[in-house]
Chain A
Amino acid sequence: MTTEALALIVFVPLLVAAGMVVLPRSWLGLLIRIGLLPLPFLLLIPTMEVVDNGAYRVVLAGHDSPLGIVWLLDPLSLLMLWLNVGITLLVSLHASFSFPPSDQPARRFWPLWLILFASMNALVLSADLFNIYVTLELVTLAAIGLIAVEGKPAALRAAMRYLLLALMASLLYLLGVGLIYGQTGVLDLYLIAEHLEPAWLTITALALMIVGLLIKSAIFPLHAWLPAAHGNAPGPVSAILSAMVVKVSVYIIWRLWFWTAGDWDLDSAATLMGILGGLAIVYGSVAALVQQRLKMIIAYSTVAQLGYLMLLFPLASTLAFQAASYHLVSHGMAKAAMFLAAANILRSVGSDRLSRLAGIDQRLPLDVFALALAGVSIMGLPPSGGFLAKWLFLEAAREQEAWGWLVLVAASGLLAAAYLFRVLAVMCLHPRRRLRSDRRRRAPNLASVAAILLAVGAIVAGFASAPVLDLVAAGLPPGLAP
């Protein structure tokens, strides 16, 4: 059952996307539903499997590694699947308003959207270095296509930059894969661990792969492509980009670091990764503070928030793992909510320049509310998922007496508050002129509801953490298990 369910989780959206190319446009709405709605139910089966029996391997085509490709479903990948399914579903709710199936652009948007969805599912399951490369390419191309789908010059430029850097990153990764294969003769992530000695060659190969992935996940100072791309993409695309697409690359780094190279002594390199994370937090926040556009602020906020995921490397403990995973979840929801709300605002006002958003809270209370609610989680203020993640990070840092990280994590919330409250303050500012009320262009309420649902999710995550944390604790990498 689990095998079947997993296969369907990957293939149903993919096939539906293919179907969209073939079938006439009138089928589009139905296809979207077929491609998305069954997924949460399908996902229940693997969930039960993992909860009952732990990790689960799918040997594709019946050829086990080293010969074939294997999918590994462990608690962490299950978490990623849920996150992807959940967020994509909610964002799709919004997308069904920004790209209604009846409109012309929908035919261009939805197939790419579903492919992106499917490829991320495939990516988090994959246990094969080269298969990861292919899925990463799929994710990247679909994502970039989606960024450019509206054809705005800024978005096109951002997409182009993203594409070039992503290709470069893929090449670095591929180089690493080639070298690893040359040394070990296997491609299975977990099998490699048995064959991989920390020689200078393999170390460099690992470094190459990691840096390639760092570019894809836009970790400072390799984030060059992110702000413009996330800041200019259509709303739902920005949401999924920030919430998922950059995260899956980090997820792969975790896999490489803690599983493939789990036996190595990586302490000093881990510190470097942590420092990059710290710099990302500081730089991203400061940059967000000086932006003039709402979506750019949110985009830079993503740069900053991704930094937290890097703190897992130096902290490397059960708590830190729970913290990072939880941050993944809560930030995913919160950031998606923010981008969706920003999209609604942009649509209604026609611009997301802060100077034009004064008093918008009277006109679009729901969206501002979602933005604020998500902001609470981003700032790490209680009660929210973001707070819980921060708390766990702090506990992890304290447990290892890593005071530097502790102070960084504790204080970084202030930076987030600085840029988020700047936005909220502007929105509460009474406008000098009355805002023109443009009812026609207002996003429908349901579009706002998607944002609010996600934001509420990020808040509720502050209360219902036990299932997720237990799940993560059950799927610790071999080196971290207590």
Chain B
Amino acid sequence: MDNAALYVLAAAVLFGVGVYGLIVSAHLMRKLFAINIMGNAIFILMVAVAGPIDGAPDPVPQALVLTGIVIAVSATAFALALMVRLYQETGRATLADDNGPGNDD
């Protein structure tokens, strides 16, 4: 676990990249990539910042991250389905809309 600091830094960069992607991407799938990257960064961080027990990583954060990964995949799956439907309905896979906020009937 002496490499924890290194991976923490990596997580920081990944998080930043994710945020950047989330902002600049118009396509929803790219936004989902970005969110997943951010999530991964946070997962790494969670495991890395917990104090190790007898040199081994704490099992609790690992269990939490495992749960987190499943939740992430669930959310992504739903988001993808939503994106597909949105694309079917509007011909766009972005959040841009023509009508202004909430003004579509």
Chain A residues close to B by CB (< 8 Å) = 130, 134, 137, 141, 144-145, 148, 151, 153-154, 156-161, 163-164, 167-168, 171, 174-175, 177-179, 181-182, 185, 187, 227-228, 231-232, 291-293, 296, 299, 351-353
Contact = CB atoms under 8 A, between A and B. Distances in A.
Interface string B18-38: 000010000010010001001
B17 interface: no
Interface string B62-93: 00100110010011001100110110011000
A163 B61 CA distance: 25
Interface of B: 22, 28, 31, 35, 38-39, 42, 45-46, 49-51, 58, 60-61, 64, 67-68, 71, 74-75, 78-79, 82-83, 85-86, 89-90, 95, 97, 99, 101-105
Main secondary structure, interface of A, reads helix
B103 A292 contact: yes
Contacts of A231: 102
B95 A178 contact: no
The interface centre, meaning the residue of A156, A178, A227, A299 with most chain B CB atoms within 10 A of its CB, is A178
Contacts of B105: 154, 293, 351-353
A137 B76 CA distance: 12
Given A181-B46, A182-B51, A151 B78 contact: no
B49 A156 contact: no
The interface centre, meaning the residue of B45, B67, B86 with most chain A CB atoms within 10 A of its CB, is B86
13 contacts: A157-B95, A160-B95, A163-B79, A164-B28, A164-B35, A167-B35, A168-B38, A174-B68, A178-B46, A178-B61, A181-B50, A182-B46, A351-B105
B41 to A, nearest CB: 9
A157 to B, nearest CB: 6
A351 B28 CA distance: 29
B19 to A, nearest CB: 9
